[in-house]
A = this chain, B = another copy of it.
Amino acid sequence: MKKILNDPNNFVNEMLEGMYKAHPEMVSSVGSDLRCLVRKDAPVMNKVAIATGGGSGHLPVFLGYVGQGMLDGTAIGDVFQSPSSDQMLEVTKRIHGGRGVLYVYGNYGGDVMNFDMATEMASLEDIEVRTVLVKEDVASASKDRADTRRGVAGMVFAFKIAGAKADLGASLEEVEAATIKALANMRTMGVALSPCILPAVGRPTFNVPDGEMELGMGIHGEPGVRRGKLETADQIGDTILETISADMTILSGDSVAVMVNGLGATPPEELYILYRRVHDNLEQLGVKVHKAFVGEYATSLEMAGASITILKLDAELQALLDHPAHTPMFRV
């Protein structure tokens, strides 16, 4: 194991302690529960609050995006494990600024069940909660089962859109609608080249042999659409873009945002090589890239690989994407 750790059982809590110490001006915990992390200035009154949550191991997701113009708070669990509904409720109560709370998170069983429980409990406290599930991973299910798809890096775009809309003073319905629109116009697909190692486990929970890749593999090792020989960057970019545009119409004249996201161990150099091809392909289709995001936005510990997300923009989404944001690990 190639990890800089103390007791693996303290991985999440010590990481959190580091975060609070590094960004004291931006984030704080709800009471003494480090796993409930909110904006320092929460609750922001008269603003719809945006909350998310899920397992640890995906930094900057989720904690890195808590701040002005993005998330108001998040509850996080052990590595790749849901937090409890209690924790979600605590975050919800703390960030509620009187205009309701929007839950935006990835479509994973444990997370959904716990957020649903938190929603029920919040309603007992007279806090209106709505939920938008992120499920933009085209590789995780066919189009007719699109409702069962997973949420991956597109989550970050969803946080950005929801956070900006809320920051502009929109109502809960309006924030929800903008986020739903963003998700309807967004698709992601990834490729994994190596597994990651859970600190408490100490060895990979799945495997990708050297020289092979798994196209469409999920960020916890969920199987993808094809295991095979490692292809070139251009082939990978072509396949992913083809799969995405078979699932969502992208037309000449469209304006898009592109995210080429590293899963952890893949260097930025390779992400730029991948972006190059995606950019060229889009240009050939007559599609304009309004903004490119190349880097690590949603990771799986030290997994090697990358994902590509395309978000089609209309005037509203473009303005929301460009709206300022200031968080520990993201800045517009």
A interface list, Cβ under 8 A from B: 1-6, 11, 14-19, 21-23, 56-57, 59-60, 64, 191, 193-194, 210-211, 230, 232-234, 236, 264-276, 279-280, 289, 292, 294-296, 299, 301-302, 304-306, 329, 331
Q: A17-B272, A59-B267 are in contact. List 5 more A-B contacts (CB 8 A).
A: A1-B210, A4-B191, A4-B305, A6-B233, A11-B269
A11 and B57 contacting across the interface, CB-CB below 8 Å: no
B301 and A56 contacting across the interface, CB-CB below 8 Å: no
- Complex: A234 Cα to B4 Cα, angstroms: 9
- Complex: A211 Cα to B2 Cα, angstroms: 6
Taking CB atoms, residues of chain B closer than 8 Å to A11 are 269, 273
Q: Given A59-B268, A269-B57, A2–B329 Cβ distance below 8 Å?
A: no
Q: For A196, give the chain B residue with the smallest CB separation.
A: B267
Q: Given A22-B279, A266-B302, A267-B264, A295–B2 Cβ distance below 8 Å?
A: no
Taking CB atoms, residues of chain B closer than 8 Å to A59 are 267-269, 272
Q: Given A292-B23, A294-B22, A210–B265 Cβ distance below 8 Å?
A: no
- Complex: A191 Cα to B304 Cα, angstroms: 21
Instruction: For the complex formed, measure the closest distance between the CB of A226 and the CB atoms of chain B, giving whole angstroms.
Output: 16
B329 and A295 contacting across the interface, CB-CB below 8 Å: yes
Taking CB atoms, residues of chain B closer than 8 Å to A236 are 4
Instruction: Pick the contact of A60: B268, B274, B301, B304 (CB < 8 A).
Output: B268
B6 and A273 contacting across the interface, CB-CB below 8 Å: yes
- Complex: A308 Cα to B56 Cα, angstroms: 24
- Complex: A329 Cα to B269 Cα, angstroms: 12
Instruction: For the complex formed, measure the closest distance between the CB of A82 and the CB atoms of chain B, giving whole angstroms.
Output: 17
Taking CB atoms, residues of chain B closer than 8 Å to A2 are 193-194, 210, 230, 265-266, 304
Q: Given A1-B210, A2-B193, A59-B269, A276–B17 Cβ distance below 8 Å?
A: yes
Instruction: Pick the contact of A268: B14, B267, B329 (CB < 8 A).
Output: B329
A276 and B18 contacting across the interface, CB-CB below 8 Å: yes
- Complex: A247 Cα to B154 Cα, angstroms: 46
20 A-B residue pairings within 8 Å (CB atoms): A1-B210, A1-B211, A2-B193, A4-B191, A4-B236, A4-B271, A6-B232, A14-B276, A15-B272, A15-B276, A17-B272, A18-B294, A21-B279, A21-B292, A56-B269, A57-B269, A59-B267, A59-B269, A267-B301, A269-B301
